[in-house]
Structure 1
């Protein structure tokens, strides 16, 4: 199976949606920030591993605490994912803090400041 095949894209989207639901509705760990989003999930073609990119609306400390909470709940999350998504193998999940949304908001704010100075 090619890396960017339609089947792999469909699996990535399904895993992303289910991970988002599990994190948002099932996990009650106080370390996990309430504004946690699964930006994307990349499952390898052999379905053994998954990189889940997580975005947190908050400071850096909240991001680190959320990643720690997710790593400690990885067994539960993987079991729930296996129950919800019918795959040959349930992937081993690695949570990665994604700061691209925060970076984009910051860049947009900087551009707005520069254009405001030009207009004045």
Structure 2
């Protein structure tokens, strides 16, 4: 049992390091205009550590879908450079294969909360009419 706990701890440390380093690269080192105003929300490593899924969120409110698509395209185009930089910065033998995905969880959460608020208002209205 202890070796599995150690493996999980190691994967969590590697994922956190990847999140910090890729976030720093997105903020200042990548010059692709498609990648502007984005940040890394989560990094999920596969159990073997051979690949990683990086979830990236886009800031702003206008035309988010198009900016998310352009952002992912820009990051996928730059992933060779990102892997090379991670190899040098982290000082490891192997850097996982990187796959970038849009993180829509914040928008989905806001939408669910909006729908719940609407439902509460309807319930209040029904109870007020019933009285």
Larger helix share, 1 or 2: 2
Question: Quick check: 1:7 aligned with 2:10?
Answer: yes
Q: Within 5 A, what are the aligned runs for 1:1-120? A: 2=4, 5-34=8-37, 36-58=38-60, 59-119=64-124
Maintained 8 Å contact 2:55/2:103 = yes
Return 108-117 or 92-101, whichever deviates more: 108-117
Please tell me whether Structure 1 or Structure 2 has the larger radius of gyration of its CA atoms: 2
1:47 CA drift (Å)? 3.2
1:17 CA drift (Å)? 1.1
Structure number with greater CO (CA < 8 Å, separation at least 6) is 1
1:68 CA drift (Å)? 0.4
1:57 CA drift (Å)? 2.9
Distance 2:35 2:70 in 1: 7
Distance 2:30 2:65 in 1: 21
**Aligned twin of 2:128:** none
Structure 2 stretches lacking a partner, 5+ long: 126-131
1:50 CA drift (Å)? 1.3
1:117 CA drift (Å)? 4.6
Return 76-85 or 39-48, whichever deviates more: 39-48
Q: Secondary structure of 1:96's partner?
A: strand
Q: CA RMSD in A?
A: 2.1
1:116 CA drift (Å)? 4.0
Structure 1 stretches lacking a partner, 5+ long: none
